[in-house]
Structure 1
Amino acid sequence: MALTEIDHVSENEEMQECIDSCLECVQACEWCADECAGDEDMAECLRLCRDVADLASMHARFMARDSGYRTDIAAITADACEACADECEQHDAEHCQVCAEVLRECAETCRNMASA
């Protein structure tokens, strides 16, 4: 296998890891948002979770079609994941703690894609 083929395989594996991470993030954020619905004290958490779910879903689609904008979206998604994780970590609810962990992982994979 030529070096360029190895690099391409490695890049595809990283992209697939990021897609998987983004899709897991969408699920966690939608769950957290659903659990936060109706609780005025959780309004910011709800809003951020919905924002991240939309961004992570979009980023996964951009990567899947190899869009030229995928690195820009990766950086924005990572920023949003970190902001949402910061918010979720302020709450003791299980859904917030689980979501924060998934968000941190997604932020890391998105940062890796943004720098690729």
Structure 2
Amino acid sequence: MLLIHEEYQSSFDVAMKCAVECEHCAEACMGNPNMLKCARTCLDCAEICRTISTYMVRGSRFIPNLTKAYAEICTACAEECSSHDMDHCQKCAQACREAVEEYNKITAVAA
């Protein structure tokens, strides 16, 4: 029998990967005044991915209610980062797209 939080293990892994890539991207972009929007978007996305990860560890009943909004934030981050040629931005955009896919699966199951 799986514990409640174990059903979210793969989603947790994707969320944490997204949080890490967003933090790396934000750090790399912060020194460039032209990249402040990217850095701020990445920081917002990293924060929500860490937050949903915490909910997943607890097996919170609120996860499906949050994933739709979180997918929107990750989508915005993916769009922002994919508009830049830097490798760190492209890695971040990919991690965000993976998170969106994962969050959409959770939202669809709950519907």
Task: Report the TM-score when normalising by structure 2.
Answer: 0.89
How many angstroms apart in 1 are the aligned matches of 2:65 and 2:37?
A: 25
User: 2:101 corresponds to which residue?
Assistant: 108
For the pair shown, the structure with the greater C-alpha radius of gyration is 1
How many angstroms apart in 2 are the aligned matches of 1:64 and 1:115?
A: 20
Once the 2 structures are TM-superposed, how far is the Cα of residue 39 of structure 1 from its aligned partner? 1.0
Once the 2 structures are TM-superposed, how far is the Cα of residue 12 of structure 1 from its aligned partner? 4.3
Identity of aligned residues (%): 33
User: 2:19 corresponds to which residue?
Assistant: 26
CA offsets 1:49-73 (integer angstroms, 9 cap, x no match)? 0001000000011111111211122
User: 1:47 corresponds to which residue?
Assistant: 40
User: How many residue pairs end up in the alignment?
Assistant: 108
How many angstroms apart in 2 are the aligned matches of 1:12 and 1:111?
A: 18
How many angstroms apart in 1 are the aligned matches of 2:65 and 2:42?
A: 20
**Which 4+ runs in 1 deviate beyond 2 A?**
none
User: Structure 2: which 5+ runs fail to align?
Assistant: none
User: 2:85 corresponds to which residue?
Assistant: 92
- Cα RMSD for the two superposed structures: 1.7
Once the 2 structures are TM-superposed, how far is the Cα of residue 115 of structure 1 from its aligned partner? 2.0
How many angstroms apart in 1 are the aligned matches of 2:68 and 2:37?
A: 21
CA offsets 1:10-53 (integer angstroms, 9 cap, x no match)? x944x211100000001100000000012111111111100010
SS in 2 for 1:68: coil
Task: Report the TM-score when normalising by structure 1.
Answer: 0.86
One-letter identity of the residue aligned with 2:15: C
